[in-house]
Structure 1
């Protein structure tokens, strides 16, 4: 007879648990009921673009790619972006439930009490619009997630002269500033970890767009506002695309998690790199992060620099495409400390007693309290799992990586820890199902349980001053440990070897750990699609200049020093030199000038674009005394779906608007330095190391444009230092009935 299971929570954890119990366990082993308090499934993840009522904005971009934000046996659509929007994740979960149905899903039902009966069953009470109901279940599986409620510090009033909201409630700049009783100019963001950095970058993007977009302003005088970010300590801030070859002059780019989860970079068997971080481990990790980024972050600001004693401290990481360049530009200003009080529109920081005045609004990026997610459990169970509200990063102490407690065999957990990567959620669900389904455990599982020290380790980490940012364990290690316990072997990456820096790209994804038991033909097809998508993405990035256009676009933000030489072969046009600045001003995409083939109908919207503003002095070479100020404007756009960078002329009557297409930028495979060494007669590959810097080529790109009768041939060269542009060159050759000149410009930070 099938055993009844109550799953509390209809987010990713609850859905994968239901699927595992119904489709991967022995036939008819379990009857599953999911109780979800919201009116939709998905948990944090909204299922529609307009669903703005939850804790996650529907347009938020995931900070791990679809190769990690996936379950092994459901592939993303080929047309879905590498980093999906939150609403797309919600729709992925709806597809998952439709594909692997069978559970009784009860939306709008909040579990308010679960009582453990003497014989191990659970009496579960729910509340809904229909009233209160009580049912009995053989098993209880907690999949309520880590985000119980937003944390609101005691020193922050609920009502003040200025708007104060939690970061999870921020939606747009107009609604943030619209309720202020004071005319302050500083938007204060409190909290320096992942949500704080992400929120600061989002608000900076919205503010920059409000300043630099054409047409009516969405807020009055947007240019008078600045963003002040209060952080406790510095974090390494990674863009969404990084390189497996950061030292290359033309580094290839991949979604950040693909190089991060390359199993070839670590000795095997894997050991846990998270939890307690010793000084030696901290130095190694900080060195790796600096290598990936190509900087100690002093390039951007002294306040973001990580050196000295910080190198000995456990590292903290965050993900953001634009945060660091907004800091460099000055739109985001950083103060180190903790906010201790706010009175009127003045905040005080400790321990420095620095005061930040003239505040317009406050956003609290202070994290979440997971305790409300467990409020339905009886006190005796909370004590058994060592529940501690004062340790929000480690709220419970559970066996085998957060899955169960041996003394409560009918209680299981999936996804109750920080950063629940989807592969780990899937493994946890399999582990719990295996415990409940098999009275006689396999040798591998018995050994795993005997060796497990998860509970003692968790309790020790609660009082450890060197606890890591994500203390439960690192992703690749956890996947290895679950796979060992469940006797699941890892699948190969693909038919074509993936190489970078002479090393294999052995990329870990959930699909490489497909569950071998009871897989349908459709499930096997989905696993194969997932594996193929990751392999094809890696090949495209490593060999075909994919994602370079996006990396260039991201890194252009801010101001550049520009020096340009113009050589004219006609006496009617003077030769000379231009010296000045070029500013790339980020804003939301505009429709101006776009045909439908350039993103106008994109499901992702118009994305972002830059207003390019160039200003400086041109001095003629052959005409003494001829010198004048010169300025020009363009609009630069990046289309994510086409992975294409384009440059557009600005209108003469309204220079903030795009007029028509100038050219699209076509990226070429860079010159191979070893091949160049051979061509120069310098011999073997080892001799490539002595090639002069002048011969080391960056990413090359080209374009051609016919403007009436004038032909513009355009050549670019982009030099990166790891993930960031350090210098780039732009050369024009213009020929026509009345034009014959070349322009060579160099842009430097």
Structure 2
């Protein structure tokens, strides 16, 4: 007879647990009921663009790519971008449920109490619009996650003279300001780790767009506002696309998690790199992060710099495409310290007693308290699993990487893990299902359980001042350990061109841990499809110019020094030199001038774009007295779906708006990459000397534009320092009945 299982939580962990129990365990082993307090499945992840009531903004992009944000047995649609929006993750979960259904899902049912009965069964009391109900289950599986409720520090009042919200409730700048007649000019973001950096960057993007968007302003005087970010210590801030070859002059780009989870870079078998971080380990990790970024971040801000004593401390990382360049531009200002109080519109920081006045609003990026996610468990059970509300990063001490406690054989946990968690929670679900269906564990599993020190390790880390940012475990290591215990072999990734160390990429993804012994043909087909998508993405980034347009677009934000020479062959157009600045001002995409082929009908909306503003002085070469101010404007756009960078003329009567397309930028594959392609039969062989010469050049690109009778041939060279543009060149020749000149300019920070 099937055993009854109560799963608490209908988010990713609850759904994958139900799927595993119903589809991967022996037939008719379990009857599964999921209780979900919300009116929809998905947990944190909204399932529609307008679903803004949860803890995650529906338009937020994931900070890991779809190759990591996935289950092994359901591939993403090819049309979904590399970093899906939150609502797309919710729809992925809806599709997952459609494919792997069978559970009795009760939405709008909050579990109020779960009592352990004699014999190990669970009496579960739920509350819904129908009232209170109680049922008995053979097993209880907790899938409620870390995000019980937003953390609100005691020193911050709930009501104040200025609006104060938690970062999980931020949606847009105008609603942040509220309806209060009192106005300051500074937006305070409190909290320097991942959510603080993501929030500060999001607010800055909204503010920058409000300042530079054409037409009527959505609120008064947006240019008067600035963002002040209070951090305790600096974090390494990674863009969403990084390079597996950061020292290359034309570095290839990939979604950040693909190089991060390249198993070829780690000795086998994998050892856990998380938990206690020694000084020596900290120095190694900080050195790696600096190498990947190509900077200690001092070129953005002294307050963001990671050097000195910070190199001996365990590193903290965050993900953001635009945060560091907003810091460099001054729109985000960093203050080191801890906010200790707020009075009126003045905040005080400790330990310096620095005061920040003229505050307009405060956003608390202070994390979450997981304790409410466990409040239904009785005290005796909470005591057994060493529940500690004062340790939100390690709230409970569970065996075998957060799955169970030996004293409670009918209680399981899935998803109580921070860091890249999709693959891990799928493995946790497999482990729990295996434990509940196996009367005599294999010798391998018995040894894994005997060697497991997860409980003791967790308790020790709670008091360890050198605990890592994500202490529960190293993602790749955990995948390895679960696979070993369950005898799940890792599948091959496929060949890729070698990196600088001579090794091919061996990228970890959940799809490599398909479970052929128990999974259906459909599940295995989905895993194969998903793995092919990841492999083709890696090859596209390594062998072609995929993602370079996006890396260039991201890194343009802010101000550049510009020097340009104009050489004319016609006396009607004087030769000379321009010296000035070029500013790339970020804003939400506008529809001006766009045909449908340029994102006007995109499911992702219009994305982001730059208003390009150039200003300086032109001096004639043969007549230095002929000197005058010159300015011009363009709109630069990036189409995320097509990975395409384009430049548009500005309207003459409203230079803040795009008029029509100037050109699309075509990136050229570097010669050494072409030689790799030639060796694979996809291109012609290239002379060795040419290859060596081309290795020293940055990313080259070209474009062409016919303007009535005038032909513009455009050439670019983008020189990166790891992930960031350090210098780029723009040259074009113009030929027509009345024009014959060349322009070459250099842009430097």
Q: TM-score range by the shorter chain?
A: over 0.9
Determine helix, strand or coil for the equivalent of 2:393. Answer: coil
1:162 touches 1:179 (CA, 8 Å); kept in 2?
no
Distance in 2 (CA, whole Å) between partners of 1:517 and 1:661 is: 55
Instruction: Render the CA deviation track for 1:694-742: whole Å, top value 9, x for unaligned.
Output: 9711000000000010000000000000000000000010000000000
Task: Give structure 1 stretches of 5+ with no counterpart.
Answer: none
Deviation at 1:630, TM superposition (A): 0.2
Q: Which residue of 1 aligns with 2:461?
A: 461
1:576 touches 1:619 (CA, 8 Å); kept in 2?
yes
- Runs of 4+ with >6 A deviation: 673-676, 678-683
Deviation at 1:89, TM superposition (A): 0.1
Correspondence 1:412 to 2:405: no
Q: Which residue of 2 aligns with 1:322?
A: 322
Determine helix, strand or coil for the equivalent of 1:175. Answer: helix
Pairing of 1:443-482 with structure 2 (within 5 A): 443-482=443-482
Determine helix, strand or coil for the equivalent of 1:32. Answer: strand
2:76 touches 2:92 (CA, 8 Å); kept in 1?
yes
Correspondence 1:87 to 2:107: no
Distance in 2 (CA, whole Å) between partners of 1:168 and 1:682 is: 55
Distance in 1 (CA, whole Å) between partners of 2:352 and 2:688 is: 62
Q: Which residue of 1 aligns with 2:360?
A: 360
TM value normalised by structure 1: 0.97
Pairing of 1:556-705 with structure 2 (within 5 A): 556-672=556-672, 696-705=696-705
Instruction: Render the CA deviation track for 1:49-99: whole Å, top value 9, x for unaligned.
Output: 000000000000000000000000000000000000000000000000010
Deviation at 1:499, TM superposition (A): 2.6
TM value normalised by structure 2: 0.97
Determine helix, strand or coil for the equivalent of 2:456. Answer: helix
Structure 1 residues 420 and 405, CA gap change in structure 2 (3 angstroms): farther
Q: Which residue of 2 aligns with 1:296?
A: 296
Q: Which residue of 2 aligns with 1:547?
A: 547
Distance in 1 (CA, whole Å) between partners of 2:698 and 2:578 is: 24
Cα-Cα RMSD: 1.5
Moved more, 619-628 or 497-506: 497-506
Q: Which residue of 1 aligns with 2:498?
A: 499
Distance in 2 (CA, whole Å) between partners of 1:540 and 1:189 is: 38
Q: Which residue of 2 aligns with 1:341?
A: 341
Structure 1 residues 673 and 519, CA gap change in structure 2 (3 angstroms): closer
1:393 touches 1:417 (CA, 8 Å); kept in 2?
no
2:4 touches 2:138 (CA, 8 Å); kept in 1?
yes
Pairing of 1:357-396 with structure 2 (within 5 A): 357-396=357-396
Distance in 2 (CA, whole Å) between partners of 1:74 and 1:624 is: 67
Q: Which residue of 2 aligns with 1:253?
A: 253
Instruction: Render the CA deviation track for 1:326-351: whole Å, top value 9, x for unaligned.
Output: 00000000000000000000000000
Structure 1 residues 168 and 695, CA gap change in structure 2 (3 angstroms): closer
Distance in 1 (CA, whole Å) between partners of 2:675 and 2:689 is: 10
Pairing of 1:221-236 with structure 2 (within 5 A): 221-236=221-236
Deviation at 1:544, TM superposition (A): 1.1
Q: Which residue of 2 aligns with 1:719?
A: 719
Q: Which residue of 2 aligns with 1:273?
A: 273
Deviation at 1:671, TM superposition (A): 3.2
Q: Which residue of 1 aligns with 2:25?
A: 25
Deviation at 1:516, TM superposition (A): 2.2
Distance in 2 (CA, whole Å) between partners of 1:365 and 1:485 is: 38
Distance in 1 (CA, whole Å) between partners of 2:381 and 2:695 is: 67
Determine helix, strand or coil for the equivalent of 1:146. Answer: coil
Pairing of 1:50-199 with structure 2 (within 5 A): 50-199=50-199
Determine helix, strand or coil for the equivalent of 1:326. Answer: helix
Instruction: Render the CA deviation track for 1:631-667: whole Å, top value 9, x for unaligned.
Output: 0000000000110000000001000000000000000
Determine helix, strand or coil for the equivalent of 2:726. Answer: strand
Instruction: Render the CA deviation track for 1:118-152: whole Å, top value 9, x for unaligned.
Output: 11000000000000000000000000010000000
1:671 touches 1:697 (CA, 8 Å); kept in 2?
no
Structure 1 residues 39 and 680, CA gap change in structure 2 (3 angstroms): closer
Distance in 2 (CA, whole Å) between partners of 1:174 and 1:717 is: 39
2:70 touches 2:423 (CA, 8 Å); kept in 1?
yes
Structure 1 residues 369 and 681, CA gap change in structure 2 (3 angstroms): closer
Deviation at 1:497, TM superposition (A): 3.3
Determine helix, strand or coil for the equivalent of 2:599. Answer: helix
Distance in 2 (CA, whole Å) between partners of 1:487 and 1:498 is: 30
Structure 1 residues 321 and 710, CA gap change in structure 2 (3 angstroms): same
Distance in 1 (CA, whole Å) between partners of 2:26 and 2:420 is: 26
1:180 touches 1:361 (CA, 8 Å); kept in 2?
no
2:496 touches 2:539 (CA, 8 Å); kept in 1?
no
2:37 touches 2:111 (CA, 8 Å); kept in 1?
yes
Deviation at 1:181, TM superposition (A): 4.2
Task: Give structure 2 stretches of 5+ with no counterpart.
Answer: 677-684
Q: Which residue of 1 aligns with 2:682?
A: none
2:164 touches 2:361 (CA, 8 Å); kept in 1?
yes
Instruction: Render the CA deviation track for 1:510-533: whole Å, top value 9, x for unaligned.
Output: 000011233222111101110000
Q: Which residue of 1 aligns with 2:16?
A: 16
Pairing of 1:205-224 with structure 2 (within 5 A): 205-224=205-224
Determine helix, strand or coil for the equivalent of 2:671. Answer: coil
Distance in 2 (CA, whole Å) between partners of 1:2 and 1:368 is: 37
Distance in 2 (CA, whole Å) between partners of 1:72 and 1:455 is: 28
Deviation at 1:500, TM superposition (A): 2.1
Deviation at 1:537, TM superposition (A): 0.3
Determine helix, strand or coil for the equivalent of 2:195. Answer: helix
Structure 1 residues 123 and 679, CA gap change in structure 2 (3 angstroms): closer
